[in-house]
């Protein structure tokens, strides 16, 4: 497989897509540094001179520019709209921890209806063979308490055992992912079992459980994940129903990998990357989406192979 720096040297192929992505990314700069968003209009007109396909969404259409699926649509020249009868493919887009509304069978993320932290830990334990949940009434020593809900970033370190549990929270073993003075996690995009790239995020101790990293990098999956880990991550995504999204993982001091979060409405890429890294890494994700969901209008039950990893080794007894 080509070196990640070679792959990150590629830019978007669709006319105007790179410029559109760049202009939208400029919204993160200070107001005085931004180019007015009115400049996006001629870029959109340029896109419409070429065949435009529609990606349908239910129940909501993602409106925030930071959503990764919007970046994918920009780079592939796709129009985003509410799904109508006959639209294919359809993406289930509900920025919530649990989905209770009926969704179309076979749609992207149709089976991803529960990404509570307890569900993530249970499926991780089933696919990797080990877990990290603890009983706070019996656990002795430090542990992590965080909300069941997605994207709260409210982790708190507590000393166990506790006298009582708080409703709506999970309790987990405190995993030491400190590396060179900063806490490091892996943000891993997964597109129908394919891992196109891996983002590395680093946070200072005072912001250990925060949402915004102070440093970020990008790597090819084979540079930071073993074949067995990639296979198990694909199995995890399939079990939780994640056809398009990201998982957050961390390694302890012994190098053991733990999946601690799943996100079906990811935001990205990390802002600390260079513009070239942002565009080119998102192009790799867009290419994976093209292969898995647009080429031949594939059905959800038949993933298209791409550098398929070996099957997981048998779980240890």
Which pLDDT tens digit goes with each residue over 6-18? Answer: 555 554 455 555 5
| pLDDT value at 124 more than 90 | yes
**Token output for 91:** 């993406």
Residue 168 pLDDT class (50, 70, 90 cuts): very high
Going by their DSSP bridges, the two strands 141-147 and 53-59 should be labelled as unpaired
pLDDT of res. 200: 95
| pLDDT value at 95 more than 60 | yes
Q: Which residue has the higher pLDDT, 317 or 233?
A: 233
CB 140 within 8 A of CB 161: yes
Residue 30 pLDDT class (50, 70, 90 cuts): very low
pLDDT of res. 296: 65
| pLDDT value at 118 more than 50 | yes
pLDDT of res. 98: 94
- d(CA 222, CA 225) in angstroms, rounded, equals 5
Q: Which domains does the chain have, with CATH numbers?
A: 4-132+175-294 (3.30.470.20), 133-174 (no CATH)
> Mean pLDDT score of the chain, rounded to an integer?
83
Q: Which residue has the higher pLDDT, 38 or 283?
A: 283
Question: Cα angle at 119 between 115 and 124, to 5 degrees?
Answer: 105
Helix, strand counts (H, E) of the chain: 8, 12
| pLDDT value at 40 more than 50 | no
- d(CA 169, CA 66) in angstroms, rounded, equals 28
Specify the residue for token string 């802002």: 271
| pLDDT value at 4 more than 70 | no
Cis before 59? omega within 30: yes
The torsion angle over the Cα atoms of residues 250, 256, 261 and 262, rounded to 10 degrees, is 110
pLDDT of res. 45: 45
| pLDDT value at 313 more than 90 | no
Q: Which residues pair with 186 in a beta bridge?
A: 200, 249
pLDDT of res. 137: 98
| pLDDT value at 20 more than 60 | no
pLDDT of res. 205: 86
Q: Which residue has the higher pLDDT, 21 or 100?
A: 100
**Token output for 229:** 């880990």
pLDDT of res. 206: 81
CB 229 within 8 A of CB 190: no
| pLDDT value at 295 more than 90 | no
pTM recorded for the entire structure: 0.82
Cis before 269? omega within 30: yes
């Amino acid at each position: 497989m080509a070196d990640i720096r070679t792959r990150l040297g590629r830019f978007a192929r669709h006319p105007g897509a790179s410029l559109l992505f760049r202009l939208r990314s400029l919204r993160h700069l200070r107001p005085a540094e931004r180019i007015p968003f009115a400049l996006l209009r001629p870029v959109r007109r340029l896109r419409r001179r070429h065949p435009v396909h529609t990606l349908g969404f239910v129940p909501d259409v993602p409106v925030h520019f930071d959503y990764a699926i919007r970046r994918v649509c920009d780079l592939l020249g796709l129009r985003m709209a509410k799904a109508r009868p006959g639209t294919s493919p359809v993406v289930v887009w509900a920025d919530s921890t649990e989905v209770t509304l009926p969704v179309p069978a076979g749609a992207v993320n149709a089976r991803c209806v529960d990404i509570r932290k307890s569900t993530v830990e249970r499926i991780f334990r089933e696919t990797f063979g080990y877990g990290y949940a603890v009983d706070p009434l019996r656990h002795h020593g430090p542990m992590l308490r965080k909300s069941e809900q997605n994207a709260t970033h409210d982790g708190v370190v507590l000393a166990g055992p506790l006298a009582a549990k708080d409703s709506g929270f999970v309790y987990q073993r405190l995993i030491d992912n400190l590396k060179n003075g900063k806490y490091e996690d892996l943000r891993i995009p997964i597109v129908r079992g394919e891992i196109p790239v891996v983002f590395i995020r680093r946070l200072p101790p005072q912001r250990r459980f925060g949402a915004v990293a102070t440093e970020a990098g990008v790597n090819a999956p084979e540079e930071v994940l073993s074949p067995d880990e990639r296979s198990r991550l694909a199995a995890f995504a399939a079990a939780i129903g994640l056809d398009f999204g990201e998982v957050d993982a961390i390694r302890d001091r012994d190098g053991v990998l733990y999946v601690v979060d799943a996100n079906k409405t990811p935001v990205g890429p990390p802002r600390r990357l260079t513009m070239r890294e942002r565009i080119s890494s998102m192009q790799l994700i867009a290419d994976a989406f093209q292969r898995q969901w647009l080429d031949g209008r594939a059905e959800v039950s038949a993933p298209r192979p791409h550098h398929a990893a070996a099957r997981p080794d048998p779980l240890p007894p």
